[in-house]
Amino acid sequence: MVSPPGRPLVIAHRGASGYLPEHTQQAKALAYGQGADVLEQDVVATRDGRLVVLHDLFLERVSDVARRYPGRARADGHWYARDFTLAELRGLAVTERLSAAGDAAAFPGRFPPWQGEFRLHALEDELALLRGLNATTGREVGAYPEIKCPAWHREAGIDLGVLLAETLEAELAARGPLPLWLQCFDPAELRRLHAQGFRLPMTQLIGRVPAEQGDWAGQDPLSTAGLAVLARHCSAIGPWLGHVWRDGRDTGLVARAHEVGLAVHPWTLRRDRLPEGCQDAEALVAQLCHDIGVDGLFTDHPDLVVRARARVGERTGALD
Ligand code: CA
């Protein structure tokens, strides 16, 4: 199978997060400039019911919240975004991601922690950035928002899935079409949103151990039968890369998903944290694009995937 130009989609995981602090506007703009086709947003809710772009439910691994608000951690030691207003979150200084202990960079060799001027932003800010760049460049780069921990949010008093889906539908109605996928790890959440009548393209994320992630309606999501169930309400799956490629080989998942009409967008290609058994990121991307035929790829290094994809195209004549 030869991927046509522009495929697989290069999905900038938290922006060009291999180069700049994740989920900052700078990281998103860099990803856009590197040629990403899609920018990813992790979405959590604030105290005042706003949607903020943030990977964790809590703040201390990417911001100075512990220093600014020493008394506002919960009993478990975390400072939760849900306990702060959007205005408070916008005032935090953002850093390159820290280790769980907070004393070192999570990814040594990436952007130095605590340097530069970085901030958190709302989902609406990022969509405005994306729309603005699409207007100035004439490109059609898309968005890929993720509902983070929907069950946790419901217990915390907010229906994040419905709020996000309604926000995206309103955005499309007000400002016109935009390539868009709504992603979630929790299978019950996407089934629920579909049952409630939302018709946004949905991507079911599949973690390393799917059974740990909730109710799969009695099916193994990696099996043909399980994929067929997902295909009723999803347009894509977002599996862990190890479900697609293992020990140098195609596992067959992409072909099984394609059989039932699902696109496949695995995560996450990182130059500085390659999967076990892989020494060459560009060769892996070439194999994923050309031999395995993935439809998209989440990456912290969009430029690497754009470059590797172009080389595959040159070799196969797909760009002729
Ligand atoms: Ca994500």
State the distance from the centre of ligand 1 to the C-alpha of 42, rounded, in angstroms: 5
pLDDT at position 320 over 60: no
Question: What are 285-298's pLDDT values in tens digits?
Answer: 999 999 999 999 99
Sequence-distant (6+) residues with CB within 8 A of 139 are 133
pLDDT of residue 287: 95
Residue 4: per-residue pLDDT = 42
Percent of the chain's residues with pLDDT above 90: 91
> Rounded to the nearest whole angstrom, what is the distance from the C-alpha of residue 7 to the centroid of ligand 1?
20
H, E, C per residue of 130-148: HHHHHHHHCCCCEEEEEEC
13 is catalytic: yes
Confirm whether 55 is a catalytic residue: yes
Which of 192, 132, 159, 131 shows the shortest CA–CA distance to 43? Answer: 159
Residue 6 pLDDT: 64
Mean pLDDT along residues 167-182: 97
Q: What separation in Å is there between the alpha carbon of 147 and the centre of ligand 1?
A: 8
Residue type, 229: V
223-250 residue pLDDT tens = 999 999 999 999 999 999 999 999 999 9
**For residue 182, which amino acid is it?**
L
Kindly give the distance from the C-alpha atom of residue 268 to the centroid of ligand 1, in angstroms, as a whole number: 10
Distance 44 CA to ligand 1 centre (A): 11
Q: Give the pLDDT confidence score for residue 103 in this predicted structure.
A: 82
CB atoms within 10 A of CB 201: 15
One DSSP character per residue, the chain reads -PPPTT-SEEEETTTTTTTS-TTSHHHHHHHHHTT-SEEEEEEEE-TTS-EEE-SSSB-TTTBSHHHH-TT---TTS--BGGGS-HHHHHTS-B-SPBPTTSSSBSSTTSSPTT-S-----BHHHHHHHHHHHHHHH----EEEEEE--HHHHHHTT--HHHHHHHHHHHHHHHH----B-EEES-HHHHHHHHHTT--S-EEEEE-SSGGGGS--TTS-TTSHHHHHHHHTT-SEEEEBHHHHEETTEE-SHHHHHHHTT-EE--B-B-TTSPPTT---HHHHHHIIIIII--SEEEES-HHHHHHHHHHHHHHHTTT-
Ligand 1 centroid–CA 242 distance in Å is 17
* Mean model confidence pLDDT for the chain: 95
| pLDDT value at residue 314 | 83
pLDDT for position 261: 98
Q: 297 CA to middle of ligand 1, Å?
A: 12
Indicate if the pLDDT at residue 5 is higher than 50: no
The residues, any chain, with a CB within 8 Å of residue 41's CB and separated by 6 or more, are 23, 53, 123, 126, 143, 144, 145, 146
Residue from 221, 82, 106 nearest 154 by CA = 82
The pLDDT value recorded for residue 318 is 55
Which domains occur in the chain, in start order?
Answer: 9-316 (3.20.20.190)
What is the distance in A from the centroid of ligand 1 to the CA of 319? 31
d(CA 298, CA 318): 22
CA dihedral 27, 32, 37, 38 (to 10 degrees): 40
Interval between CA 55 and ligand 1 midpoint (Å): 7
Average pLDDT over residues 281-308: 96
> Token pair of 247, please?
């020990």
**Of the listed ranges 2-11, 63-72, 240-249, the one predicted with least confidence:** 2-11
Angle between helices 123-137 and 160-175 (to 10 degrees): 30
Report the pLDDT averaged over residues 137-165: 98
Which comes out higher in pLDDT, residue 2 or 223? 223
Give the separation between CA 203 and CA 258, rounded to whole angstroms. Answer: 14
Q: Which one of 23, 55, 153, 290 is the catalytic residue?
A: 55
Answer yes or no: is pLDDT of 3 > 60: no
CA-to-CA dists, residue 193 to 23, 51, 152, 186, 200, angstroms: 25, 18, 16, 11, 9
318 C-alpha to ligand 1 centroid (Å): 30
pLDDT of residue 251: 98
Predicted pLDDT at 2: 39
